[in-house]
């Protein structure tokens, strides 16, 4: 059965899309830990990030870099952090988390409330600054 991220990539379920290429997609995490928290996903359905081939892992990191730089330009955090866990969704992905203050709680269990309107606004703002 297709993973939830494959369904997003196929447009079967909605997302706050940030960027897309033939091989990758980035969209806002629906339960963010910071405003602008974004997921970068290779479209190929592989559970564990380190099971990706060397070339796909490299491409995924380079895609994540472009998205992160777009987040830096649009959101102006101190920097954008990167987290990989993958315990919930069995489809490899990278969390990009804007860090706005030095002691920000960047645990994936530290969810913050963001309205749907704000999520849509964040996605539009970030996506404009992502240069693939």
Contacting residue, 58, 85, 110, 112, with ligand AMP by CB under 6 A: 85
- Which of these ranges, 23-31, 51-59, 96-104, 120-128, lies near ligand AMP under the rule CB under 6 A? 23-31
Per-residue interface string for the shown chain with ligand AMP, residues 50-69, x marking contact by CB under 6 A: --------------------
C-beta separation of 2 from 41 below 8 A: no
Indicate the DSSP class of residue 95.
E
Nearer to ligand AMP, 81 or 86 (CB): 86
Given the residues 24, 93, 95, 103, the one annotated as active site? 93
> Total residues contacting ligand AMP (rule CB under 6 A)?
13
Closest CA to 42 of 15, 7, 5: 5
Q: Known catalytic residue: 24?
A: no
Site membership for ligand AMP, residue 113 (CB under 6 A): no
- Which of these ranges, 46-54, 79-87, 98-106, 122-130, lies near ligand AMP under the rule CB under 6 A? 79-87
Nearer to ligand AMP, 1 or 87 (CB): 87
Sheet containing strand 24-28, edge to edge, reads 17-20, 24-28, 38-42, 94-99, 79-83
Closest CA to 120 of 37, 15, 20, 31: 15
How long is the chain?
132
C-beta separation of 130 from 70 below 8 A: yes
Could you list the active site residues? 93
């Amino acid at each position: 059965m297709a993973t939830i991220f494959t369904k997003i990539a196929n447009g079967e379920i909605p997302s706050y899309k940030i960027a897309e290429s033939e091989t990758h997609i980035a969209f806002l995490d629906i339960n963010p830990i910071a405003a602008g928290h974004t997921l970068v996903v290779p479209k190929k359905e592989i559970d564990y990030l380190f099971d990706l081939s060397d070339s796909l892992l490299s491409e995924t990191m380079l895609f994540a870099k472009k998205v992160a730089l777009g987040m830096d330009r649009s959101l102006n955090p101190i920097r954008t952090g990167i987290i990989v866990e993958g315990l919930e969704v069995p489809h490899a992905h990278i969390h990009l988390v804007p860090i706005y203050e030095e002691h920000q709680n960047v645990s994936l269990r530290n969810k913050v409330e963001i309205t749907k309107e704000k999520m849509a606004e964040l996605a539009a703002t970030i996506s404009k600054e992502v240069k693939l």
